[in-house]
């Protein structure tokens, strides 16, 4: 049997996985990527931001050294070296992707690709396909009325080319990206202001978490303006002045626009190939990740929904499997998708919030516990935050969780597995957790939901 010809358009967390999974399944695979393998996440998003956030978190800890009985003086920052360390990590990860493609005999074509008929044109070559997986991702959105070409105005992409730490940083947008960069630069000495047009930061999380996070962010010196817009920007060669809707004027040497991301679907021939694209530029797919053209599939940020690298990878694997095994197609299940926010403190959610559970008809049981009561969290000097578990009050089945605090982005997976396996809150509370660990707070929250947590009930 002749191997299926699969072309993957885009080499980020979705495209890489689609290409490698197709190769594992015996396909003849071409991966077309105009920039670096790994896409935004590896090169300009998740990975570089976590590299710098790790340094920022260390600096924050050192600044509190006296609490631990340590005497530290003369803390200073070598920002070019921080950026160089970030680049080293990114390069190591990218080489890992390149090596995986070589091992699986995936042909990588470094060119802009677009569709013409039943072929993908990339550079001087044309590639026919039996199945095409489109994973073209997104790029930072600009903001109308802002001179995005001004040297003092940047998006998240521009952070990675900064040569010095901003002294005064205004961030337009209080979503995940804006809040992560506020958490990054405040401990490095930047005077940070976040401007958000909505009535709360981090619109995707529940209001209690948002409000508590805002208090902690402001305690670290970050100024927050909610229900506010930047009405005008006055530009100078080495600075800008942002004028807010309430008349407040803020001077800054750097203006970071973090107002979301735009799909990179325009002008690559999708519509001409029969693919439906939404007014916002997202590829429209069904539950199996098929487009309106039965030979073309979509995965990752370019199809809309949660913009998460791990979800993109999962969608890409499922789309590829469905494309190559049409008699065994499975729908994409997004019931259990951890959403992790790498702020300080970390925030992570999975499943339903309490409000959403009620809105969808559940009678809700909550189990809650705070890190301030956990020995390991206190020992590490990170007592802020809590765990909130959400269960159906009728059958006690777990529906979701929100965790804010130390190691939240790691702890959330325990609850995700529990939800996936159909655990009740009582069953999660019965799982013995080691002491002293920060993970005990999950057990305590589950037990508290039934009124049997020894120290909380």
Which residue reads 């047009």 in tokens?
A: 197
- Whether 415 and 362 map to the same domain: the answer is yes
pLDDT at 267: 95
Which residue reads 């790498």 in tokens?
A: 342
Active-site residue 435, yes or no? Answer: yes
Q: What is the CATH number of the domain that holds 192?
A: 3.50.50.60
Q: Is residue 253 part of a domain?
A: yes
Catalytic residue among 282, 413, 435, 450: 435
Q: Is residue 423 part of a domain?
A: yes
- Beta carbons within 10 angstroms of residue 181's beta carbon: 26
pLDDT at 424: 98
Domains in the chain, number: 3
Residue 288 and residue 330 in contact, taking contact as beta carbons nearer than 8 Å: yes
How confident is the model over 109-160, as pLDDT tens digits? 999 999 998 999 999 999 999 999 999 999 999 999 999 999 999 999 999 9
pLDDT at 381: 95
- Whether 402 and 428 map to the same domain: the answer is yes
- Whether 221 and 102 map to the same domain: the answer is no
Residues of the domain holding 429: 345-448
- Whether 285 and 169 map to the same domain: the answer is no
- Whether 249 and 266 map to the same domain: the answer is no
Q: Is residue 375 part of a domain?
A: yes
Which segments of the chain have a pLDDT < 70?
A: 1-2, 457
Strand-pair partners of 30:
7, 107
- Whether 272 and 130 map to the same domain: the answer is yes
pLDDT at 156: 95
Give Cα 451 to chain centroid, integer Å: 35
- Whether 23 and 122 map to the same domain: the answer is yes
Q: Is residue 439 part of a domain?
A: yes
pTM score, whole prediction: 0.94
For the chain, the three-class secondary structure string (H helix, E strand, C coil) is CCCCEEEEECCCHHHHHHHHHHHHCCCEEEEECCCCCCHHHHHHCHHHHHHHHHHHHHHHHHHCHHHHCCCCCCCCCCHHHHHHHHHHHHHHHHHHHHHHHHHCCCEEECCCEEEECCEEEECCEEEECCEEEECCCEEECCCCCCCCCCCCEECHHHHCCCCCCCCEEEEECCCHHHHHHHHHHHHHCCEEEEECCCCCCCCCCCHHHHHHHHHHHHHCCCEEECCCCEEEEEECCCCEEEEECCCCEEEECEEEECCCEEECCCCCCCHHHCCCECCCCCECCCCCCECCCCCEEECCHHHCCCCCHHHHHHHHHHHHHHHHCHHHCCCCCCCCCCEEECCCCCEEEEECCHHHHHHCCCCEEEEEEEHHHCHHHHHCCCCCCEEEEEEECCCCEEEEEEEECCCHHHHHHHHHHHHHCCCEHHHHHHCCCCCCCCCHHHHHHHHHCCCCCCCCC
- Whether 93 and 240 map to the same domain: the answer is no
- Whether 385 and 426 map to the same domain: the answer is yes
Q: Is residue 339 part of a domain?
A: no
- Whether 320 and 423 map to the same domain: the answer is no
Q: Is residue 334 part of a domain?
A: no
pLDDT at 3: 86
Q: Which of 215, 237, 259 is the last residue of a domain?
A: 259
Q: Is residue 430 part of a domain?
A: yes
Q: Is residue 457 part of a domain?
A: no
Q: What is the CATH number of the domain that holds 377?
A: 3.30.390.30
């Amino acid at each position: 049997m002749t191997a299926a010809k699969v072309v993957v358009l885009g080499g980020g967390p979705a495209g890489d996985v689609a290409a490698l999974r197709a190769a594992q399944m015996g396909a003849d695979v071409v991966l077309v990527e105009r920039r670096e393998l790994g896409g935004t996440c590896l090169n300009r998003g998740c990975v570089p931001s976590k590299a710098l956030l790790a340094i920022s978190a260390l600096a924050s800890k050192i600044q509190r050294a006296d609490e631990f009985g340590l005497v530290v003086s003369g803390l200073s920052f070598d920002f070019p070296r921080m950026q160089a360390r970030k680049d080293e990590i990114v390069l190591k990860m990218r080489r890992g992707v390149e090596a995986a493609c070589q091992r699986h005999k995936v042909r990588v074509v470094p060119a802009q690709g677009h569709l013409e008929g039943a072929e993908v044109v990339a550079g001087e070559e044309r590639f026919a396909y039996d199945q095409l997986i489109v994973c073209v991702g997104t790029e930072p959105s600009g903001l109308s009325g802002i001179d995005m070409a001004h040297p003092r105005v940047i998006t998240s992409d521009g952070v990675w080319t900064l040569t010095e730490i901003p002294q005064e940083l205004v961030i337009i947008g209080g979503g995940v990206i804006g809040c992560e960069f506020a958490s990054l630069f405040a401990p490095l000495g930047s005077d940070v202001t976040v401007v958000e047009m909505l009535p709360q930061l981090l619109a995707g999380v529940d209001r209690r978490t948002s409000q508590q996070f805002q208090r902690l962010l402001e305690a670290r010196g970050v100024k927050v303006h909610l229900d506010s817009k930047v009405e005008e920007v006055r530009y100078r060669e080495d600075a800008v002045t942002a004028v807010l809707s309430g008349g407040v004027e803020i001077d800054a040497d750097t203006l970071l626009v973090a107002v979301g991301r735009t799909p990179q679907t325009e002008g690559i021939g999708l519509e001409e190939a029969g693919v439906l694209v939404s007014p916002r530029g997202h590829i429209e797919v069904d539950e199996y990740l098929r487009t309106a053209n039965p030979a073309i599939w979509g995965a990752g940020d370019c199809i809309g929904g949660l913009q998460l690298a791990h979800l993109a990878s999962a969608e890409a694997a499922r789309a590829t499997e469905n494309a190559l095994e049409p008699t065994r197609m499975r729908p994409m299940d997004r019931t259990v998708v951890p959403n992790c926010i790498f702020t300080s403190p970390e925030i992570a959610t999975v499943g339903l919030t309490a409000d959403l559970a009620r809105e969808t008809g559940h009678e809700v049981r909550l189990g809650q516990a705070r890190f301030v009561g956990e020995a390991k969290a206190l020992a590490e000097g990170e007592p802020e935050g809590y765990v909130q578990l959400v269960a159906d009050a009728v059958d006690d089945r777990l529906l979701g969780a929100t965790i804010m605090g130390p190691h939240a982005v790691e702890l959330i997976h325990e609850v995700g597995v529990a939800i996936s396996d159909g655990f009740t809150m009582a069953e999660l509370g019965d799982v013995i957790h080691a002491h002293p660990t920060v993970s005990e707070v999950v057990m305590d929250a589950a037990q508290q939901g039934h009124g049997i947590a020894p120290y909380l009930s």
